[in-house]
Structure 1
Amino acid sequence: MKELLRSIAGYFRVQHALFLIPIGAFAIYDSVFSAFSSVLAVLWEMYPDVPRAGIQMILAVPSLASIPTTLLAGVLTSYMHKKTIAEIALAFLLVGGLAPVAIAEPHIGLLFASSALIGIGQGLLHPLASMLVCQYWESKSERSRVLGFKQALNYLGAAVVSLLVGLLAFMQWNFAYLIYVGVIPVLIITATQLPKGQLEDRLIDCRHLSSGVRKLLTPALMYACFIFCAVSLFNFAFQSNIAMLINEKGFGDVVDTAVITAILQIASFAVGVFYGQIVKLFRRYVLLPGLALLATGFLMVAFAPSMAVVLVGGTVFGVGAGIQYVTTLYSTSKSVDQHVVSMALSLVLALTSLGFSVSPIVIEGVKDLLFGPGAGADVSLAIAGVGCAALFVVECVHCRFFAKEDRLDDVVPDELVD
C-alpha cells in the first residue's frame, strides 16, 4: 500500500510546481469564451433577423481574431518577455469581456467587437502557457505530465466557469460576461508571481530565414498542422450546436446546457490529470482513442432520445476532447527542435483557431447542401461525428506507415536560470 501511495505521489511531483498557478490561470481564461455556448440559444431568440450561422459566429469570432495574434506571439517571444505578453493579453480580455455588461441591450455589432477583443487576448495567451511548460520542463516524460496537469486545471476551471456562466445568463443574458471580472486577480498574480523568463532565439530572421524555416517546417509538424486544424473544425460543432439541439428537442434550458458543458470539462479534467499515463500506454497511437471517443460522443448526442443520453454522450466527447487537445500540444512540442518549439506551437494553435473559426460556415454549409436548410442541430453534430471518424482512419494510416516510435525519456531538466 505504501509503495502504491508513493508511486501516486511521485507521479504528481514535478519541478517548478509553483509556476503552474499562473500557467493554469492562463489556460482557464484562454478557453473561457467556449462556455458561452449556453448563451447562443438566448441570442438566437433576441436577434431573430440574424441567421443561425451568424449567431454561432459570435462564438467563433474570438478564434478568428486570435489567428494573427497567436502567430504573432511566437515572434514576440524573441523581443518581449513572456510575462509582458501575458499582461497585454489579459488587458485585452478584461476590456473585451466586460464591454457587453455596460449596455442592457447591446447592438449585435458590439457583441462581435467584444468577441474580437477577447480573441486578440486569447491569441496572445493561447500558446503562452504551453510555451512556458516547454521552457521549464524539457524532459518529454515530465512535459507530457505537466501539459496534462495544465489542461486539467483548464478543464476544472472551465467546468466551474460553465456553471457560473449558465447561472449568470439565467438572470440576464449579458451578465454572463461578468465572468471576465476574474481576469483582475489573474493579472495581479501574473504581475507579482510569474518570472520574466528568457527571450527566445531569433532563428527566423533575414540572415537565417532559410535554415530557420527548415527547422520549423518538419514533416511531423506539417502533419500536426493538418490533423489538428481538421479536428478542431469538427470539435467546435459541439459548442456551437449543443444549446440549439437541447432547445430544438425540448430537453432543457440554458442551465441544462451549462451543466452539460461542465460535465464535459470535468471528463476532460480527469484525462488531463492522467495524461502522462495515457501517453505511456498508447505512445504514438495516443490520438486514436481520442478521435474514436470524439466520433462516438458526437453521434450519441446527435441521435439522443433523451437528456440522459446527451449527458452520457457529452461525457464521452469530453474524454476524447481531453486526449485530443493535450496530444495537440505534446505532439507539436516533440515534432521540432527545442529551439523552435514556441514558433511551432504558435503555428499549430493558430491553425486550430482557424478550424474553430470556419467551423460554423463549413458544417452548416455541408448540412444545407446535403439535407437542406431546414435540418436541425442534430444533423450538424452527426456530420461532425462522421468527420472525426474519417480523421480516425487518416491517423491509423499515419501511425502505421509514417509515424516514428515515441520513446519517452527520463532526463531531469536543469533548474531554470532566470
Structure 2
Amino acid sequence: MKESELKTKAAVLSVALLLYTASLTTPAIGAIARAFPGVSPELVKQIAALPPLMTILGALITGQLERFVRKKTILYLAITIEFLFGGIIPALYGDMTFILICRAIFGLGYGLIFPLASSLVADLYEGRERDSMMGLKSAVGAAAGIVFQMIGGYLAVISWRYAFWGFLLLIPIFIVIALVLPEPVRKPKPAASDSAFCGLTPGTWYLSGLNLLYNIMIFSFMTNVAIVMAEGKIGNAAQAGLVLTAFTTGAFAAGLFYGRIARIAGRYTAALAVGLVGLAFLLLIRVHTYPLFVLAGIIFGLGFGIYNPALTLLVVGSAHPSTATLAVSVYIAFQGIGQFLSPIVLLYITTALGLHGPLAAWTVAGPALLAASMVIILLTALLKPKHRPVIPG
C-alpha cells in the first residue's frame, strides 16, 4: 500500500474518532452530581441524554447542508462546535443550566459529523475495500469509546472540569483532517434535484424505518444490563461494566474482520448480524451466571459490529451516488428516534403482553430479532441476487 493511501485511510478513520468524544464526559456525571448537590439527579443525567437527542437534528442538517457546502467545511464547523461547546466552555463556566445548553449544542455538532463518517468511506472507496473500511470505521470507533471513557474517568477523578478538558484531543484530529483528508469529488446530481430529499429511494426510507425498529429492540441491552445483573444477584456495577466492555470487544472484533465476514456470509450478512443479537438476548434471559453474561455480551457485540457496516452499506447503495450523505443522515436520524422511543415502546409492548420485571424487554427483543433473522434468510433466498434483501429490524 502506498504511503499516501495509508495516510488517507488514517484520515478517514480519524473522523470516526469524533463520534465517540461524548465518552469523555460520561464518567464525570457522578462527580458533577456531587459538585451540584442542589440539582436533581434527573437533571444531571441530561448531560448524557441531551446530545443523542440533538444528534437527530444535526444529522438531518448535514444531509441538507452537504448539497451546498463542502464536506470538509462541515467537518471544520462540527469539530469547532464539539471543541468549544463540548469541552472548553463547560470547563470554564460551571452553571448547570449553561452546561446543559452547551451539551445540546455539542449534540448538534456531533450529529453533523455522524453521517459524514460513513459517507466519506462511500465516496472514497469501492467494492471490497469499501466493505473493509466501513468495518474498520466501526472497529476504530469501538476502541475509541473505551479509550476516551478511560481518559474521561481518570480526568474526572481529579475534577469534573478536567473531563471536559479532554476535548483538547480534538486538536490533533482536526490537524490530520485539515492536512491529509481529501475532499471527495462531487458526483452529478439526479434530475429534479431541487427536492430536499431527491435521490433517496423507497428502499432508503424502508431500511431506515426498519433500523428504527431494530434500535428500539437493541437499546434495551444498554439500559437494562446493570439492572438485570443487580436484581438477579449476578454481579455488581463493576461487573456490569465488564459485560459492556465484552460487548465493545465483540463489536471491535466484528468491525476489524468485517470485510472477510461479508465475503463469507455474502447476501446473508445482515441476517447473521440480527441473528447474533437475537441469540445474545435469548442467552441473557435464560442464563444466571456472570461468565455466561460476559459470553452473551461478546455475542451481542459481534452482531452489533456486523450490523452497523452492513446496514450502512445497504443504505448508501439504496440512494443516488450524489446523495450518500443525505441517505445516511436519514438512516441515523431514524436510529436516534428508535433509541429515544425504545423504553417507551417496549414498556407498552411488555405491559400489553403481561410481562413484568427487568427481563421483560429482553423477552420481547430476543424472539423478535431471531424471527426477523429467519425472515431475512427466507426472503434473501427467494429473491434474485440483483435485488436487495428485505431487512426487517
Q: Sort the TM-score into its range (normalised by shorter chain).
A: 0.7 to 0.9
Closer, same or farther: CA 386–36 of 1 in aligned 2, 3 Å: farther
More deviation in 330-339 or 12-21?
A: 12-21
- Which of 179, 182, 198 is the aligned partner of 1:192? 179
Q: Which residue of 1 aligns with 2:101?
A: 113
Mapping of 1:91-106 within 5 angstroms? 91-98=80-87, 101-102=91-92
Q: Which residue of 2 aligns with 1:375?
A: 357
How far the C-alpha of 1:61 sits from its partner, in A, is: 3.3
More deviation in 301-310 or 120-129?
A: 301-310
- Which of 110, 123, 145 is the aligned partner of 1:135? 123
**Which whole-Å CA distance do the structure 2 matches of 1:186 and 1:37 have between them?**
21
- Which of 281, 285, 300 is the aligned partner of 1:298? 281
How far the C-alpha of 1:176 sits from its partner, in A, is: 5.1
Q: Which residue of 1 aligns with 2:50?
A: 61
**Which whole-Å CA distance do the structure 2 matches of 1:142 and 1:259 have between them?**
33
How far the C-alpha of 1:90 sits from its partner, in A, is: 1.4
Residue 244 (structure 2) pairs with residue 261 (structure 1): yes
More deviation in 14-23 or 139-148?
A: 14-23
Q: Which residue of 2 aligns with 1:145?
A: 132
Mapping of 1:217-256 within 5 angstroms? 217-218=201-202, 220-249=203-232, 251-253=235-237, 255-256=238-239
Contact 1:35 1:261 in 2 (8 A): no
Q: Which residue of 2 aligns with 1:389?
A: 370
Mapping of 1:277-296 within 5 angstroms? 277-296=260-279
Letter in 2 for 1:399: T
Measured against aligned partners, the alpha-carbon deviations of 1:342-401 in whole angstroms (never above 9, x if no partner) come to 2222221221122122223323444455558x733x433443334423432442344244
How far the C-alpha of 1:21 sits from its partner, in A, is: 2.1
Mapping of 1:153-192 within 5 angstroms? 153-168=140-155, 177-192=164-179
Q: Secondary structure at the match of 2:318?
A: coil
RMSD: 3.7
How far the C-alpha of 1:126 sits from its partner, in A, is: 0.7
Closer, same or farther: CA 33–391 of 1 in aligned 2, 3 Å: farther
Contact 2:53 2:340 in 1 (8 A): yes
How far the C-alpha of 1:290 sits from its partner, in A, is: 0.8
**Which whole-Å CA distance do the structure 2 matches of 1:38 and 1:297 have between them?**
26
Mapping of 1:335-346 within 5 angstroms? 335-346=318-329
How far the C-alpha of 1:241 sits from its partner, in A, is: 2.6
Q: Secondary structure at the match of 1:350?
A: helix
Q: Which residue of 2 aligns with 1:216?
A: 200
Contact 1:292 1:320 in 2 (8 A): yes
Letter in 1 for 2:248: Q
**Which whole-Å CA distance do the structure 2 matches of 1:321 and 1:268 have between them?**
6
Q: Which residue of 2 aligns with 1:415?
A: none
How far the C-alpha of 1:91 sits from its partner, in A, is: 1.9
How far the C-alpha of 1:62 sits from its partner, in A, is: 2.6
How far the C-alpha of 1:196 sits from its partner, in A, is: 3.4
How far the C-alpha of 1:276 sits from its partner, in A, is: 1.4
Closer, same or farther: CA 393–269 of 1 in aligned 2, 3 Å: same
Count of residue pairs the alignment pairs up: 384
**Which whole-Å CA distance do the structure 2 matches of 1:353 and 1:141 have between them?**
28
Closer, same or farther: CA 357–178 of 1 in aligned 2, 3 Å: farther
Contact 1:96 1:118 in 2 (8 A): yes
| Long gaps (5+) in structure 2 | 389-393
Q: Secondary structure at the match of 1:16?
A: helix
Measured against aligned partners, the alpha-carbon deviations of 1:249-304 in whole angstroms (never above 9, x if no partner) come to 55223x44443333322211211122111111111111111111111223333454
Closer, same or farther: CA 94–260 of 1 in aligned 2, 3 Å: farther
Contact 1:287 1:327 in 2 (8 A): yes
Contact 1:148 1:326 in 2 (8 A): yes
Closer, same or farther: CA 29–210 of 1 in aligned 2, 3 Å: closer
